Amino acid sequence: MYRPLRIAVPIHSLEPGGVERVALGLAIEWQRTGHHVTVVLGRTGSANLCSAPALDYWRIPTRLSTAQWETPWMVHCLYSYLLRNRTDVLFCPGNTYAIVAAAMKVLLDRHAPPMVLKVSNALERPDMPPLLRRGYGAWLRLQGAIFDRLVGLSEPMQREICTVTKAAAANVPIIANPVISRRTLTRLANLRPSSDSVWSTRYLAIGRLAPQKNFAMLLRAFARSARPHDRLTVAGDGSQRSALEQLAVNLGIAGQVRFLGHQPSVEPFLAEADVFVLSSDYEGLPGVVVEALAAGLPVLATDCCVSMSRLIDSGRTGMLVPPGDEATFANCLVAMRSFRTDPERARSVAATYELEDAAARYVEMMTELHGSHLDDANRRRNLDLISPSISRGQMN
């Protein structure tokens, strides 16, 4: 018999971020299909709260800024929420929330709800120093024990999760990253480039201006390869914005690069672009690439995760470059000027990352998980009742 699930989703804040955007999309769809979803907010002072989706938000008001200690504050907020509210499933939308869930396991012990983690970033981290990488590996193995389900975004990612965390394959379902709704797929499929000039190419990059995204490498590669009329548009904001703007000045390309900051919608910029570029050192499965494919754009990307070869059909819908390889990236920026993509193939791949289908698969998985959790709780309760009776019988 169908029963709505009570799902809690912790989110640090409503500031822009791909993990949070996907989490809110799932929450909207779960709520639309009759489930009770609560977004537990950590940071309350978000300028985006007034324009946030119509969901139930739970937060602890504070006049103090919690940005510098957002993880401890998130632990406090989520623990407070779970103590006060019945919750069937705790859904953690990305790797950064794993430490929060671990704290819930310690604080609540057997009273913690079933926990699901959507693995949003690469687990293999060659960029880390060896000692730190060993410690990170131990932490990932602990996650394999903490979480009831670790959701992989593709078959290669599932294999990586099982290998690194030692989790059983049965506890690592594959659900494609729910990046794009059916309505958005249709809109992006109808986009048409506004111009097609042989004298200039319009490159587009989207993402947080953070070290992981390696926009510095992209700017240097663009400086090495750009013609006078080529343009690079960067949509996104973050801690590195000032440094990247200064780097563009130092490289002599400031007049050819636009830094747009965060944009509520990137669709207008996808319509203006000729090529989408991604320069990340590591990713889980980049949703912005899915959106670019849905718009029929050719993609030049670093091979930054185990899923990229499934996402980009190299030579047909784009090109893949080793992470951090500036010279090859620059050469491929040139090659992309004459690259002819297969837009039908690109849109077919993008359609596999549809929000509605993924949301339904999550519900199916979480319903089964909740049922198993109830069965286990009932068995423990029965054992607790039986044990005193056995003890009294032995005493008599």
For domain 182-351, which architecture applies? 3-Layer(aba) Sandwich (3.40)
Looking at residue 67, its pLDDT comes to: 76
Q: CA 151, CA 174: separation in Å to the nearest integer?
A: 6
DSSP 236-277: B--TTHHHHHHHHHHTT-GGGEEEEE--S--HHHHHH-SEEE
Instruction: Answer yes or no: same fold for 6-178+355-386 and 182-351.
Output: yes
Q: Are 240 and 219 in contact (CB under 8 A)?
A: no
Cα pseudo-dihedral 39, 41, 44, 50, rounded to 10:
-20
Looking at residue 249, its pLDDT comes to: 98
Q: CA 231, CA 154: separation in Å to the nearest integer?
A: 34
Q: Could you tell me the residue ranges of all domains in the chain?
A: 6-178+355-386, 182-351
Looking at residue 382, its pLDDT comes to: 58
Q: 142 in helix, strand or coil?
A: helix
Q: Are 100 and 78 in contact (CB under 8 A)?
A: yes
Instruction: Say how many residues make up the chain.
Output: 396
Looking at residue 373, its pLDDT comes to: 85
190-214 residue pLDDT tens: 887 666 677 899 999 999 999 999 9
Closest by Cα among 284, 281, 283, 224 to 256: 224
Domain at 6-178+355-386, CATH class: alpha beta
Looking at residue 240, its pLDDT comes to: 95
Q: Are 227 and 301 in contact (CB under 8 A)?
A: no
Name the phi and psi angles at 357, rounded to 5.
-65, -45
Tokens of 38: 């609560």
pTM, 2 dp: 0.81
Tens-digit pLDDT string for the chain (396 aa):
468 999 999 999 887 678 888 999 999 999 999 999 999 998 765 555 545 788 999 999 888 877 788 899 999 999 999 999 999 999 999 999 999 999 999 999 989 999 999 998 878 777 788 888 889 899 999 999 999 999 999 898 999 999 999 999 999 999 999 989 999 999 999 887 666 677 899 999 999 999 999 999 999 999 999 999 999 999 999 999 999 999 999 999 999 999 999 888 889 999 999 999 999 999 988 999 999 999 999 999 999 988 898 899 988 999 999 999 999 999 999 999 999 999 999 999 999 999 999 999 999 999 999 998 886 666 666 555 555 554 455 545
301-332 residue pLDDT tens: 999 988 898 899 988 999 999 999 999 999 99
The strands making up 56-58's β-sheet, listed across from edge to edge, are 56-58, 36-41, 6-11, 89-92, 115-118, 149-151
